Structure 1
Amino acid sequence: MNLSDPFTLCITSLVALSLLGLPIGHSMICASILYLYAAGLDMGTAAEQLLNSMFTSYTMLAVPLFILAAELMNSGSMTIRLLNFCNAIVGRFRGGLAQVNVLQSLIFAGMSGSAIADAAGMGKMMQKMMTENGKYTPSFAGALTAVSAVMAPILPPSIPLVIYSLVSNASIGFLFLAGILPGLLICISQMAIVAWSARRQNFPTEAPVPLKHIPGITIRALPALMLPVVLLVGLRGGVMTPTEAAAVAAGYALLVSAVIHRDVGFRELYASLQSAGRMTTSVGMLIAGALVFNYVVTVENIPNSISVFLLSFDLTPLTFLLIVNIVLLILGCLLEGTTILLVIVPVLIPTAQALGIDMVHFGVVVVFNVMLGLITPPYGLLLFVVTRVSGAPMRAIVRDTMPFLIGMLTALALITFIPGIVLFVPRLFGYSG
C-alpha cells in the first residue's frame, strides 16, 4: 500500500477515522480534505462542493420536510386512527393483530417515507399491543415491526428515492410511481407469511369490529388516508414538484393534527420540530460528507474506470443487475443505507447507463437492496431499533425475520428480472422508459 498516493491516503484515513468512532459523514469530509491537501489542490474546494451541491439543491429540501411530516403524524392521533382503521379491516382474522402491523406500515409508508419513523412511531405502539397478555412473543412482534417498516422507503413518498434522484438525475415523480407495485409486492408477501405462521403457531384472533362501526372508523381515519392520494395526484397532475409535495405533506399533517383533530399544541409542535431537526442534521452531515467524497471519486475518474472494467467482461444487463444485487446486499450488512446510495451507487450508474438499464428501474432495485440492509445483521439499523423497543434478544429477532427476508428476496428477484413490474405504473402516466 502506497500511502504517498493521495487517493490511497484518503481511503485509509476514511476507514481509520470510521473505526475510531467518528461519524461516517465527518470521516468522509476529513478524508476528502486530506486528499485535496495531498494532491496539491485547493482545500476550499470541499466547501465549494457543499455550497454548490447542498445549498443550491431545491430537491434536498424534500428530505427534512418529509421527516417533519412523519414526526407530526406520530405526535398526534393520526397514527391511532389509522391503527383503528387497519384493525377494523384485518383484525378479525387469525393472526389479525400481526396483519394489522403489516397493513398499518403499508398505509403509514404513504405518508412518512422513512422506515425508522415507521418502526419508532406506529411500530412501537404495535409491539406493545402484540405482546400484551402474551398474545405474541416479543421477538416475533419486533421482527414483524422491522420487516414491515421496510415498505416505507419503497413506497411513495420515499426519502431514499429522493436521495437516489439526487445522484442519478432520474425523475422523482416517476421513481415514486415505480415504487408502488414493489411496495405492494412486499406487503402481499408479508401478509401471506403471517397467515401461514398464524395457522402453524395458532396465533390468536381479535374481537371483530361490528360492521356498523366500520364507516365511522373509516371517516375518522379519512384525513390521514387522503394524504398519499393528495401527494400522488399533485405530483402527477403537475400541480407541485416533489419538494413542494414534501411541504404539502408537512403542512397537511400539521393542519390535520392541530386544527381538525386538535391534539397537537405548541409543545408537541416544538418537540416535533426538535426531533425532525436532529434527524435532518444527522442525514445532512452524511449527505455533505458523501458529496465532498464523491468529488474526490470523480477527480480520480473511478466511476468511468469501473465502468470500463465491468464492460470488458461483456456483461448483459441482467448479469450486471445480479452482480449489483449481490454487492449491495453484502454492503447493506455493513454500511448505512444513505452512505451506499451516496457513495457506492454513483460509481455503478455509468455502467448501468452504458448497458441500457432504465434509471428508474435501477433506482427501485437499488433502494430495495439498500433497505434490506436495515434488517440484516450485523449493522441492521431497524434490528437495533426494535431490539431496544421490544427488549427481546437480537438473536431471537433475527431468527424470526428469516421467513420474511426470504419472501422479500423473492420479491427482489422478481422486480430485478421483470422490469415491467417496476415500470408498469410510471408508463400509465406517460413514462417512456
Structure 2
Amino acid sequence: MEYSGLVLVGVFFFLLLLNVPISFSIGVATIATMLYSIDFMPAMTTVAQRLAGGINSFALLAIPFFVLSGLIMGQGGIAKRLIECAMALIGMLPGGLALVNVLSCTLFGAISGSAVAATSAIGSFMIPQMEKNGYDKNFATAVTGAAATTGMLIPPSNILIIYAIASGGVSIAALFVAGYLPGMLVATALMIVCAGYSKLKGYPTGARLPLKVVLEKVLAAIPSLLLIFIVIGGIIGGVFTATEAGAIAVLYSLALSVGFYKEVKIKQLPEILLKAGETTAIVMLLIGASSAMSWILSYENIPQTISDFLLTLSENPLLILLLINLALIIVGAFMDMTPAVLIFTPIFLPVATELGMSPLHFGIMIVLNLSIGLCSPPVGSVLFVGCAVAKTTIEKIIRPLLPLYLAMFVVLMLVTYIPGISEFLPKFFGLY
C-alpha cells in the first residue's frame, strides 16, 4: 500500500515539474498506480469507467450553465455599474477607492462565479483609477487579487458544486447558502485592512455624492445584483434545483446583457459559447481524472492511512485542524482549486468528520483555504491576471499583499473553529 502511494505521488509531482497539464498528470499518475497494483486490462478498464462515471452527474450540469452566464455577464457592462454603485455607497470613506475595489470584486466575483473574471473586469478599471488618485499601483493590484477570491464563496460558485460531488452528497443548496457569511467576513476583513493601510499611507478620500446620484447608481446596479437573489431565492424556496438555477441564470444574463443593457451583441454569442465549452471541457476532464484518482486512493486505503496518522499526532482537534489548514495553504499555492478540492477532499474529509466537523463546515473551510491560494505565488491565477492588467510583477505586489493575507487567514481560523459561521444560514432556512 505504501509503495502504491509513493508511485501515485511520485509520478504526479514529477509530471507537474515537467509542466504537464494537471489533468494529464492526474490521469497518468492514476494509471501508473493502477498498473502497479492490478493487471493491465482491469487497470485500464477501471480508469475508463471512473473517468466516465466521474462526470455522469446531473448536478455537474450546473457548471456549464454558470460558466456561460458568468461569461455573458462579464461582457455585459455589469462591472461598470457595480463599480459606480460601490463608489456611490462607500467611496467617501477612508481609503474609499480601495474599499470600492473590494466591494466591486466581491459582487462581480459572486455574479460571474470567477475570480479571474473579477480580477480582469474590475482590475482593468479600478487599478488605473486608484493609481490616478494617488494610490500605489502594487497595492491596488494586491487589493484586486485578494478581493476577487471572495466570489468563490458567494454563490453561484462552481467550486462549491465540485466540492458537493467530491464529498459524496453534501447539498449544493446548503453549500450555496453557507458561503454567504464567510464570504462577507472575508470582504469585511479586507476592507478593514484597506482602510487602515490607506489611512497610514495618507491615500485620499472620495467625495460624498448627492443622495439623488447615489440612488441612481444603486438602481442601475440592481438588475445585475438580482441574479444572486433569483438563484438563491429559487433554490431556498424549492422552486428549482441548483442545475435548473444555472439554466435560469443563463436566460437572465442573456436578457440583461443583450436585451436590457445592450452591451453584448448577438454576433458575439458564438464566441462566448465556444469559450464556455472550452472552459467546461477543461473542468470536466479534471473531474473525470480526479474521480479515477479518488478511486485508487480509496482502493489503496490511503485516506484512512493519512487519517490514522494525523489522529496519532495529537489528540487535540484544534491542532489537527490547524495542520490540515496549513497543508491546504501549501497545496493551494501550487495547485489550482478544482483539482485540489477533488484530490484532497477524500483525504481530509474523513479526518474532519472523525473530529466532529460536519461535511458542510469542512467544505466552506477548504474552499476558503484554497481561495487564498488563488492569490498566492507561484501558481495563483489571479496574481498573473492582476499583474498583466497593472503591468507590474508578482514580486512587487507581495509586500502589500501580506496584510491582506493575514486578514484572510484570521477569517479562515474563525470559520474553522466556529461552525456557526458556516452552518447558521443553512440551518435557519432548513437546508441542513
Compute the TM-score of the two structures, normalised by the length of structure 1.
Answer: 0.93
Counterparts of 1:77-116 in structure 2 under 5 Å?
77-116=77-116
- Structure 1 position 106, deviation (Å): 2.3
Superimposed CA distance per residue, residues 206-241 of structure 1 (whole angstroms, 9 cap, x where no aligned partner): 343321122222222221011111111111111111
Name the % identity. 36
Distance 1:24 1:429 in 2: 38
Q: Which residue number in structure 1 is paired with residue 411 of structure 2?
A: 411
CA distance in 2, matches of 1:62, 1:263: 25
Deviations 1:393-426 (A, max 9, x none): 2122111111111111111111111111221111
> Which stretch shifts more, 152-161 or 282-291?
282-291
Query: Retained in 2: the 8 A contact 1:316–1:355?
Result: no
Which stretch shifts more, 163-172 or 332-341?
332-341
Contact between 1:74 and 1:122, CA under 8 Å: does it hold in 2? no
1:134 Cα deviation after fit = 5.4
Residues 32 and 127 of structure 1: CA distance in aligned 2, closer, same or farther (over 3 Å): same
| Residue matched to 2:44 | 43
Distance 1:317 1:65 in 2: 39
Q: For 1:181 and 1:387, locate their aligned partners in 2 and report how far apart those are by CA, in whole Å.
A: 29
Task: Report 1:272-351 matches (<5 A).
Answer: 272-313=272-313, 315-351=315-351
Give the residue type in structure 2 aligned to 1:23. P
2:8–2:33 Cα contact (<8 Å) kept:
yes
Where do 5+ consecutive residues of structure 2 fail to align? none
Distance 1:267 1:125, change over 3 A: farther
Matched, 1:21 2:19: yes
Change (3 A) 1:251 1:195: same
- Corresponding residue for 1:162? 161
The worse-fitting range, judged by mean Cα deviation, of 233-242 and 334-343 is 334-343
Q: Which residue of 2 aligns with 1:52?
A: 53
- 1:174 is aligned to 174
CA root-mean-square deviation: 2.0
Superimposed CA distance per residue, residues 88-116 of structure 1 (whole angstroms, 9 cap, x where no aligned partner):
11122332221111111222233122211
Residue of structure 2 in register with 1:208 after alignment: 208
Instruction: Answer yes or no: is the 8 Å Cα contact 1:109–1:118 preserved in 2.
Output: yes
The answer to whether the Cα contact below 8 Å between 2:110 and 2:150 also exists between their aligned partners in 1 is no
SS in 1 for 2:150: coil
| Whole-Å separation in 1 of the counterparts to 2:205 and 2:366 | 37
1: CA distance, partners of 2:123 / 2:246: 22
Question: Aligned with 1:333: secondary structure?
Answer: helix
Provide the rounded CA distance (Å) in 2 between the counterparts of 1:309 and 1:197.
42
* Shift, 1:312, TM fit: 3.9
1:32 aligns with 30
Check the 8 A contact 1:110/1:227 in 2, yes or no: no
- Secondary structure of 1:152's match? helix
User: CA, structure 1 residues 191+396, in 2 after alignment: closer, same or farther (shift >3 Å)?
Assistant: same
Q: Note the C-alpha offset of 1:327.
A: 1.1
1:254-285 superposed Cα distances (whole Å, 9 cap, x missing partner): 11111112221123222322332232232222
Separation (CA, whole Å) in 1 of partners of 2:335 and 2:315: 26
For 1:33, the aligned partner's letter is: I
Match of 2:125 in 1: 125
Aligned with 1:44: secondary structure? helix
Instruction: Determine the structure 2 residue equivalent to 1:144.
Output: 143
Q: How far off its partner does 1:315 sit?
A: 3.0
Q: Distance in 2 between matches of 1:431 and 1:74?
A: 30
1:162 Cα offset (Å)? 1.1
What is the distance in 2 between the residues matched to 1:292 and 1:206? 53
Between 1:35-44 and 1:192-201, the stretch displaced more is 35-44
1:68 to 2:68 alignment? yes
Shift in Å, 1:366 = 1.0
- Decide whether aligned partners of structure 1 residues 10 and 399 sit closer, same or farther in structure 2, where only a CA change above 3 A counts: same
Give the distance between the partners of 1:123 and 1:363, measured in 2 at CA. Answer: 28
CA displacement 1:187-211 (0-9 Å, x = unmatched): 1111111111221112123343321
Deviation larger for 412-421 or 267-276: 267-276
Q: What displacement does 1:57 show?
A: 0.6
Between 348-357 and 240-249, report the one with greater CA deviation: 348-357
Give the superposition deviation at 1:308. 2.9
Alignment partner, residue 196 of structure 2: 196
Name the structure 1 match of 2:10: 12
Displacement after TM superposition at 1:135 (Å): 2.5
Helix, strand or coil at the partner of 1:69: helix
- Single out whichever of 346-355 and 81-90 deviates more from structure 2: 346-355
User: Separation in 2 of the partners of 1:150 and 1:257?
Assistant: 24
User: How many Å apart are 1:126 and its aligned residue?
Assistant: 1.8
The code of the aligned residue for 1:46 comes to: V
**Matches of 2:109 and 2:5, distance apart in 1:** 40
Change (3 A) 1:161 1:281: same
Matched, 1:262 2:262: yes
Greater CA drift, 266-275 or 101-110: 266-275
> How big is each residue's C-alpha offset from its partner over 1:58-79, in whole Å with a ceiling of 9 and x where there is no partner?
1112222222111111111122
Letter in 2 for 1:47: A
| TM-score normalised by L of structure 2 | 0.94
Q: Answer yes or no: is the 8 Å Cα contact 1:109–1:156 preserved in 2.
A: no
8 Å Cα contact 1:75/1:268 also seen in 2? no
* Structure 1: tracts of 5 or more residues without a match: none
* Whole-angstrom CA distance in 2 between matches of 1:11 and 1:418: 33
Query: CA offsets, 1:298-341, max 9 Å, x none?
Result: 22111122223333456344333222111111222222222211
The 2-side partners of 1:268 and 1:203 are apart by: 40
The whole-number CA distance in structure 2 between the counterparts of 1:261 and 1:80 is: 11
Runs of 4+ in 1 over 6 A off after TM superposition: none
Secondary structure of the 2:118 match is: helix
The aligned counterpart of 2:184 is 184
How many angstroms apart in 1 are the aligned matches of 2:321 and 2:154? 21
Separation in structure 2 between the aligned mates of residue 403 and residue 352 of structure 1, nearest angstrom: 29
3-state DSSP class of the match of 2:263? coil
Mean Cα deviation higher: 104-113 or 322-331: 104-113
The one-letter amino acid paired with 2:23 is: G
